[in-house]
Amino acid sequence: GLKETYAVKNGRVYVIDGPGVLTACRSNIAVLYCAKWFYPEQFEDLNPEEVHREYFEEWIGVPYRGIWAYPLIGG
């Protein structure tokens, strides 16, 4: 099963909500999450969750709620 895979054994499993992050303009947000996960030193100042929140609240006018990507990113 999955628990025997390298990714699970080494804490390298990442999840992004498809409809909430990957569609339309939001696919750019998925790239930000991946950049932060895979290259944290190069993107120290990047906070994809804040960009995601701004997109929801400022651009499409809906509250940012829930967990859209895992593991969570603190900024």
> Tell me, what's the pLDDT at 24?
46
> Tell me, what's the pLDDT at 28?
85
Which residue has tokens 């499993």? 13
> DSSP string spanning 20-36?
IIISGGGHHHHHHHHHH
Q: State pTM to two decimals.
A: 0.75
Residues of 38-52 as b/e, b for ≥16 C-beta within 10 angstroms? eeeeebeebebbeeb
> Tell me, what's the pLDDT at 75?
44
Torsion over CA of 13, 19, 24 and 30, rounded to 10 degrees?
A: -20
> Tell me, what's the pLDDT at 45?
95
Low-confidence ranges of the chain (pLDDT < 50): 24, 75
